[in-house]
């Protein structure tokens, strides 16, 4: 059940990202629990669709206790990326994604933009309302700037709050399943 929650939230987060960057190219959400690495990438192109404006590395987490997960997993992953420890993995995934972009030479594009400030980070969290402090959730991603650096515009974070995260995601899953049945006449 817990892994289903995370998978469902990755899909919800993917939809939100698609709505925010409708012309971007994105990796699909991970579908296997064993998949490692960031949960996805967004490649945002200029208005002409010829040059990469930014590459966003996405991390999605659903947790009853998100702060510890963010500090122990997400921040350490970002730090490893910034130290270059995951370059091979990231570059392989990016080249694969970029090969689907018309008019872009994947290898050249990665060489030109990946280390030139086009890299950004996006963290999305599903959690319970009980994690709210002083009316906000900012404490969950406290330290993002210190870990990722860069301009404020190179870091984005969001929280989807439920009264209780597991029950909320379970209800959402049930609603999605019912809608699928309704629209497919199964």
The per-residue pLDDT for range 27-75, each reduced to its tens digit, is 887 665 544 557 788 988 888 877 888 889 999 999 999 999 999 999 9
Three-state secondary structure call for residue 29: coil
- Strand 25-26 and strand 119-128: the pairing is unpaired
pLDDT digits (tens, 9 = 90+) for 83-107: 888 888 888 888 888 888 888 888 7
- 161 touches 131 (CB < 8 A): yes
What is the C-alpha separation between 95 and 109, in angstroms, rounded? 9
- Quote the pLDDT of residue 34: 41
- Quote the pLDDT of residue 89: 84
- Dihedrals phi, psi of 70, to nearest 5 degrees: -65, -50
Most confident of 10-19, 29-38, 131-140: 131-140
- 44 touches 54 (CB < 8 A): yes
- Quote the pLDDT of residue 36: 53
- Quote the pLDDT of residue 1: 45
Number of separate domains in the chain: 1
pLDDT digits (tens, 9 = 90+) for 150-184: 899 999 999 999 999 999 998 988 888 888 888 88
Closest alpha carbon to 6 in 93, 73, 96, 77:
73
What is the C-alpha separation between 9 and 30, in angstroms, rounded? 11
- Quote the pLDDT of residue 28: 80
- Quote the pLDDT of residue 94: 84
- Structural domain harbouring 25: 2-184
Cα dihedral 172→178→183→186 (10° resolution): 140
Collect all residues with Cβ–Cβ distance below 8 Å to 67 and sequence separation of at least 6.
131, 139, 140
Closest alpha carbon to 95 in 85, 80, 81, 110:
110
- Quote the pLDDT of residue 46: 83
pLDDT tier at 149, thresholds 50, 70, 90: very high
């Amino acid at each position: 059940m817990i892994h289903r929650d995370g998978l469902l939230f990755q899909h919800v987060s993917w939809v939100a990202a698609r709505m925010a960057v409708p012309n971007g190219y994105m990796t699909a959400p991970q579908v296997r629990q064993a998949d490692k690495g960031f949960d996805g990438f967004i490649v945002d192109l200029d208005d002409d669709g010829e040059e990469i404006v930014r590459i966003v590395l996405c991390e999605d987490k659903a947790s009853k206790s998100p702060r510890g997960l963010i500090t122990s997993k997400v921040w350490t992953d970002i730090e490893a990326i910034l130290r270059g420890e995951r370059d091979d993995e990231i570059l392989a995934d990016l080249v694969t994604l970029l090969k689907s972009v018309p008019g872009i030479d994947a290898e050249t594009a990665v060489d030109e933009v990946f280390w030139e400030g086009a890299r950004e980070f996006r963290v999305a969290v599903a959690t319970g309302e009980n994690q709210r402090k002083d009316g906000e959730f900012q404490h969950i991603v406290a330290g993002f700037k210190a870990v990722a650096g860069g301009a404020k515009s190179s870091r984005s974070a969001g929280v989807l709050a439920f009264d209780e995260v597991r029950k909320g995601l379970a209800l959402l899953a049930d609603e999605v399943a019912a809608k699928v049945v309704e629209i497919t006449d199964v």
